[in-house]
Amino acid sequence: MDAQLGSLLEWFDLKDERRTGWELRKVRSPESVADHSWGTAALCLLYAEEAQVDRQKAVTMALIHDLGEARTGDIPTRAEDGRQTTSGPEKEAAERSAVTDLVGPFEEGELLPLWEEYEARDTETAHFVKDMDLIENCLQALKYETQSRYDETEPNEHFSAFDNLDEFFATAAPRLQTELGENLFEQIKTAYEREIGRPCQI
């Protein structure tokens, strides 16, 4: 139980780990990684049937897809050249080690393979869950934009190449792999463009 309790406390660190991309954009009271994981899981719950994937598997995968960030912290994907601070392989290796440790005390044989399936992106379920991860980010950007949760006029060295929250759409667009994801993306982007009064930079 001591090992499980220690692991649980680390799992719960996700509730305090703020999403770095929003913090760099100086969004007020930004979501946590746990908030984002819940949002992704909720999208999987709602759209799994339409995507023709197993709902329980997709929701479980969504809930643990960023579990490693409880230990590594959130390393955001950047669209602008030269802004990525950690390479993809380095990030995956660090998160794999963390997830292996965090699920280990529960002797749970399903979770680590599900996380690995998500990272490999070679199944329909993994493609769907990743698209919902990207769509969640775009929905959150739309929400922050409609709520005016940051000062768009304030100079920001981290977002010099993008206006408003365009970078979050720019990082999502080229990575979508399903027709459902692309359709949802276009709907959200259209609403976002109405809000900012111009085409989105992607």
List 18's β-bridge partners, or say none: 32
180 sits in which H/E element: helix 179-196
Could you give the percent of the chain with pLDDT greater than 90? 84
Whether residue 86 has pLDDT greater than 80: no
Considering only CA atoms, which of 124, 126, 140 is closest in space to residue 172?
A: 140
What's the pLDDT tens digit per position in 144-197? 999 999 999 998 888 888 999 999 999 999 999 999 999 999 999 999 999 999
**Whether 22 contacts 165, CB under 8 Å:** no
Q: Is it the case that residue 111 has pLDDT exceeding 80?
A: yes
What is d(CA 128, CA 31) in angstroms, rounded to the nearest whole number? 22
Cα Dmax for the chain: 55
Confidence of residue 9 (pLDDT cuts 50, 70, 90): very high
Distance CA 187, CA 129 (A): 18
Distance from chain centroid for Cα 117: 16
Element spanning 33, H or E: helix 33-51
Across the chain, mean pLDDT equals 93
The model's pLDDT over 122-159, given as tens digits with 9 standing for 90+, comes to 999 999 999 999 999 999 999 999 999 999 999 888 88
> DSSP class of residue 148?
T
Evaluate whether the domain defined by 2-196 bears CATH number 1.10.10.10. no
Look at residue 83 and tell me whether its pLDDT is greater than 70: no
Query: How deeply is 179 buried, as exposed, middle or buried, from its count of CB atoms within 10 A (0-12, 13-18, 19+)?
Result: exposed
Give residue 87's pLDDT band: very low, low, confident or very high (50, 70, 90): low
